[in-house]
Amino acid sequence: MPSDDAELPTPDFTFDADAPGACVAGIRPYRCGSYRLEPEMVSGRFVVHNYGHGGAGITLSWGCAAKVRDFVQARTATSHETEVAVLGSGVMGLTAATRLLDLGLTVTIYADRMFADTTSHKAGGQWALSLVEYQGKDSELKDILTTAYTTFKCGIGQGFGVSERPNYASKKTHNLEEVLRIAPCLIPPRVDLPRMPFHGHHNPGHLYQTLLIEPPTFLKRLVDDLKARGVRFVQQNFADQAHVFGTVTQKVIVNCTGYGAKKLWNDTAMHPIRGDLAMLRHQPNLQYLYSQNGYMFPRSDHVVIGGNFDCTENEQPSKAECKKLVGAIAMNFGLAPPMAIPENFIQHPRITEWLRRRRLAPADTPCVPPCNPV
Ligand SMILES: Cc1cc2nc3c(=O)[nH]c(=O)nc-3n(C[C@H](O)[C@H](O)[C@H](O)COP(=O)(O)OP(=O)(O)OC[C@H]3O[C@@H](n4cnc5c(N)ncnc54)[C@H](O)[C@@H]3O)c2cc1C
């Protein structure tokens, strides 16, 4: 932490929304009640579901992958199957495949989109419990968070695109407070700051310590390692379950199809929570994450600014939304005109309240997506 008077570098908020790749959008695979992580027998196949992780799929990936491995290990110990099909080449499919290889199984990955075209590749990359439900699952989630965090931490400096970072937040952030509640002592405790260490921006705030995982680096490394270990990737779109069972010969199937599970597995609990990200130029002097009226992550490819949502399946980036995201953070630093925090920002008080109510709701409470009034 800097000394009382030290200030951290101010970001350069220059942003050209028309530049190629300046604005990206993805669909968070949000599942009402809880992410889905469980086995079931369907048409004589042992299917393990691993989807619905909302805005926290990167965060939870290694922990869920370990649970998938345990389900499959328990099955194959008696069935003696040696081949597994993984559906999906996003972070959930790639990390699950990695853990299945550790069991000595032969793994084939089937996916419509390969890693660079997935939602996982578009994620911002903070390690935090953002926009995901887990009603009644605090104990399981504690295991998942612990495994995921410790695995990512072991990957620091190993070419996985992981680093430890401070996150400065003007208000307590729900997604890191939840980590502190569910898995106390996993990440360092929050420090309450009498003043934030930014030029012209000295209001009180909070300092968290978390991880930054750079999805383009992380996913490419997973794919390279899987290929080196003999995993076969098959480009394939599945129209429905019958198509899966007619195409895939393996008796053990791991379903990591993200938002695609809504249609493929007829899962009506799945909802799209789309988000935009503005990609500013890489700024190596910025080493901190920042959360107020949106978020800012300083990655080695870009400084990424995000934090909005809408409830559509439209993956077309919105230049107007990206400009708003940049303007909201720049405003905090006194570098953009004042604006009211939009209602479709995750940190809007309406959404904070919605998240609180969803967390406390019993698992069978009807789902109210955040786009509807609280
Ligand atoms: C703007 C934004 C910011 C985010 N920021 C963060 C963050 O900072 N931290 C974090 O932890 N998470 C973040 N997330 C969330 C994270 O991106 C997701 O939770 C995660 O990518 C989900 O991974 P997945 O593997 O389940 O799905 P995906 O990455 O979507 O992969 C799904 C795979 O399944 C395949 N598939 C789907 N349907 C079919 C089908 N019918 N036939 C064949 N293949 C199919 C797809 O082709 C793809 O390969 C963010 C998301 C968005 C949109």
The pLDDT of residue 162 is above 50: yes
Q: What three-state secondary structure class fits 279? A: strand
Tell me what pLDDT residue 20 has.
95
The pLDDT of residue 4 is above 60: no
The reply to whether ligand 1 has any atom less than 6 angstroms from the CB of 63 is no
b/e 198-216 (16+ beta carbons within 10 angstroms → b): beebeeebbbbbbbbbbbb
Cβ atoms 194, 1 nearer than 8 A: no
The reply to whether ligand 1 has any atom less than 6 angstroms from the CB of 91 is yes
Cβ atoms 108, 232 nearer than 8 A: yes
Tell me what pLDDT residue 350 has.
85
Tell me what pLDDT residue 353 has.
85
b/e 61-77 (16+ beta carbons within 10 angstroms → b): bbbbbbbbbebbeebbe
pLDDT per residue over 341-374, tens digit each?
898 998 888 888 888 888 888 877 888 777 754 3
Lowest mean pLDDT among 15-24, 158-167, 312-321, 344-353: 344-353
**What separation in angstroms does the CA of 28 have from each of 213, 233, 281, 314?**
17, 24, 24, 11
Q: How many CB atoms lie within 10 A of CB 306?
A: 28
Cβ atoms 309, 131 nearer than 8 A: yes
The residue-averaged pLDDT of 11-22 equals 97
The reply to whether ligand 1 has any atom less than 6 angstroms from the CB of 215 is no
The 36-42 sheet, strands edge to edge:
36-42, 45-51, 252-255, 83-87, 106-111, 232-235
Lowest mean pLDDT among 63-72, 73-82, 141-150, 192-201: 192-201
The reply to whether ligand 1 has any atom less than 6 angstroms from the CB of 33 is no
Select from 60, 119, 176, 220 the residue to mutate for testing ligand 1; criterion: most ligand atoms less than 8 Å from CB.
Answer: 119
The reply to whether ligand 1 has any atom less than 6 angstroms from the CB of 123 is yes
Q: How many CB atoms lie within 10 A of CB 225?
A: 16
Q: At what angle do helices 91-101 and 57-79 cross, to 10 degrees?
A: 40
Tokens of 41: 């027998």
- Tokens 């939009």, residue located: 342
pLDDT per residue over 240-286, tens digit each?
999 999 999 999 999 999 999 999 999 999 999 999 999 999 999 99
The full set of domains in the chain, from first to last, is 30-269 (3.40.50.720)
Tell me what pLDDT residue 5 has.
61
The reply to whether ligand 1 has any atom less than 6 angstroms from the CB of 264 is yes
Cβ atoms 303, 333 nearer than 8 A: no
Tell me what pLDDT residue 363 has.
73
Question: Amino acid identity, residue 72?
Answer: V
Q: State the distance from the centre of ligand 1 to the C-alpha of 57, rounded, in angstroms.
A: 7
Tokens of 207: 């300092």
Question: Amino acid identity, residue 209?
Answer: Q
Nearest protein Cα to ligand 1, atom 48: 88
For the chain, percent of residues with pLDDT exceeding 90:
89
Looking at residue 180, the DSSP 8-state letter turns out to be H
Q: List for the chain the helix, strand, coil content (%; round to 5).
A: 35, 25, 40
Q: What three-state secondary structure class fits 306? A: strand
Q: State the distance from the centre of ligand 1 to the C-alpha of 78, rounded, in angstroms.
A: 32
Nearest protein Cα to ligand 1, atom 53: 26
Residue (of 92, 99, 97) closest to 35 by Cα position: 92
Q: State the distance from the centre of ligand 1 to the C-alpha of 329, rounded, in angstroms.
A: 26
Handedness of CA 144, 148, 75, 43 (dihedral sign): positive
Q: How many CB atoms lie within 10 A of CB 12?
A: 14
The span from the CA of 326 to the CA of 345, in Å, is 12
Select from 27, 60, 64, 113 the residue to mutate for testing ligand 1; criterion: most ligand atoms less than 8 Å from CB.
Answer: 113
The reply to whether ligand 1 has any atom less than 6 angstroms from the CB of 92 is yes
Q: State the distance from the centre of ligand 1 to the C-alpha of 120, rounded, in angstroms.
A: 4
The reply to whether ligand 1 has any atom less than 6 angstroms from the CB of 112 is yes
The pLDDT of residue 2 is above 70: no
Nearest protein Cα to ligand 1, atom 51: 123
Select from 35, 62, 112 the residue to mutate for testing ligand 1; criterion: most ligand atoms less than 8 Å from CB.
Answer: 112
CB burial class (10 A; 0-12, 13-18, 19+) of residue 340? exposed
